[in-house]
Structure 1
Amino acid sequence: MAESGDLRRVVRAGWEVVRLRVVAALESGQVKGYRQAAEVFQVAEWSVGSWWRAYQAGGREALVVRRTSRPGPHEKIGPEDRAVLFQAMADYTPEELLIVRSC
């Protein structure tokens, strides 16, 4: 069984292939317009449009899937506090740290 990190990489690579196929179909004339491409490839019409515009502006490189961080607060705790937390997690059990699950 693949780990979730591996699965995410496969999914990202799969979407890159879909993007390239959609653009190739549009470029070759196999599909006529965003709506038909969306129907053929089972994706949103706005996705087709954004992929096409990205390809027109930046070529194939613009369709490559890049790993990005999620938006929002980047750090909830600082590096010093994180180091203390990780050390505590390594040295103690949840019970010893008085972490109680409430389910």
Structure 2
Amino acid sequence: MRRLSPAAQEDLRLRVVAALESGRVRTYVQAAEVFGVSERSVGTWWRAVRAEGGRAVLAAPRESRAGKGELIGESARGAVLRAMRDYTPTDIGQSGVLWTRASV
């Protein structure tokens, strides 16, 4: 299922839940076979809908994650990028003429 877009994933979850609610499929196993998903996923979606309602299986907007090891904030990042644009490493006392991860 991870190969599907978030909208397609949401649609699939809604179709599985609708099939269970209508009685077209009677068990998690049957739903998993019909829709080509795991039995565990069917159970997770069904329990979420029963506990929280239909919004539980809707696609949530993804939040951007901070990159691994980001040590500076947005304003400091801007200052570093401006310095990289305007200067070379040798201009600020470092060795080399190209910016590298280590020199930044």
TM-score interval, normalised by the smaller of the two chains: 0.5 to 0.7
Paired residue for 2:11? Answer: 17
Write the mapping of 1:63-74 to structure 2, written as runs, cut at 5 A.
63-69=57-63
1:76 counterpart letter in structure 2: E
- Where in structure 2 are there 5+ consecutive unaligned residues? 87-95
User: What is the count of residue pairs matched by the alignment?
Assistant: 90
Measure the CA separation in 1 of the matches of 2:78 and 2:27.
Answer: 53
Paired residue for 1:31? Answer: 25
Measure the CA separation in 1 of the matches of 2:33 and 2:80.
Answer: 50
Paired residue for 2:93? Answer: none
- Where in structure 1 are there 5+ consecutive unaligned residues? 1-9
Measure the CA separation in 1 of the matches of 2:68 and 2:26.
Answer: 42
Identity of aligned residues (%): 42
TM-score, length-normalised on structure 1? 0.68
Q: Deviations over 1:11-56 (max 9, x none)?
A: 0011000000000000111112111111111111111111001110
**Higher Cα radius of gyration:** 2
1:27 counterpart letter in structure 2: E
TM-score, length-normalised on structure 2? 0.67
Q: Which has the higher helix share?
A: 1
TM-fit CA distance, 1:64:
1.1
1:38 counterpart letter in structure 2: A
Cα RMSD for the two superposed structures = 3.3
